[in-house]
Amino acid sequence: MNDIYNELKRRAANVLAAHHLLGEKVAVKARALSPTEAIGNPEADDFPIQKGKERLMQADIRGALGQAFTDQFGDFEGTLEEILSAELNSNYRRAIFVAALNAALRHLKLINGTVHCRDEEPRQCAEALADHIQNRHGNVKIVQIGFQPRMIESLSSRFTMRVLDMDRDNIGSRKCGALIESPEAAEKALAWADLLLVTGTTLVNGTLPAFVGSKPVLFYGTTIAGAAHLMGWERFCPRSA
């Protein structure tokens, strides 16, 4: 795991140093957003954030916002240099790093799409995702990592797919047209898949390295915006702000 995170930190440090953001004091504030603040009022109530499983941490750097999904959240204030120097040894620490990175790269106008979509936009995103995969990858077998209900609904009607999730309340049930499987099924599922559709939250919970390098990967969500830019990973997040 450390190789990917160390390389990401190295690239982040290089970019921020080149723009003179490491040497100066930059206030970064992160706070946990309520579900309504984060995603508004979508048509359904089955998103993980609405059930209290996760929250969005939000960093603010000179008005540029960056977010990260996490199950360990709290307030933080410090400098970018301090954040880059810290060990990424917990979901909370990784969430601070990821949210701050997204805010910093947004401030530098190197990325956009760092604020979660709202209201009916998750459904619109899911519909666009099905077309994107069909046009770019063809009729592939998909393993989706992470429970994103609107995406599962849209994709399961057009593709053969499997879904892996860490939430024990979901595992073993059929939701949105697909059977939700546990992480223990990952080895067989990844061998079966043509394409991995991976939530950016894996960057925060530390599981991302398991999905990079084995098969074509398409990441989704705001959390991985900055990392995808720096590492050259493909990301789909068309309705984020």
- pLDDT tens for 2-54 read 799 999 999 999 999 999 999 656 666 665 556 566 555 545 444 444 344 56
Q: What is the pLDDT of residue 137?
A: 95
Q: What is the pLDDT of residue 53?
A: 58
Distance, in Å, from the CA atom of 180 to the CA atom of 170, rounded to the nearest integer, reads: 6
DSSP count for the chain of H helices, then E strands: 9, 11
Q: What is the mean pLDDT of residues 182-208?
A: 95
Query: How many CB atoms are closer than 10 A to CB 231?
Result: 15
Q: What is the pLDDT of residue 31?
A: 58
- pLDDT tens for 63-98 read 999 999 888 888 888 999 999 999 999 999 999 999
The sheet that has 28-33: what strands, in order across it? 64-70, 55-61, 28-33, 76-78
Domains with residue ranges and CATH for the chain: 2-107 (no CATH), 121-236 (3.40.50.11590)
Mean pLDDT over all residues of the chain?
Answer: 88
- pLDDT tens for 99-129 read 999 999 999 999 999 998 888 888 899 999 9
Q: Residue 218 above 80 pLDDT?
A: yes
Query: How many CB atoms are closer than 10 A to CB 222?
Result: 28
Taking only Cα atoms into account, the Rg of the chain, rounded to an integer number of angstroms, comes to 17
Q: Which residue type sits at 156?
A: S
Distance, in Å, from the CA atom of 190 to the CA atom of 185, rounded to the nearest integer, reads: 9
Q: What is the mean pLDDT of residues 202-214?
A: 93
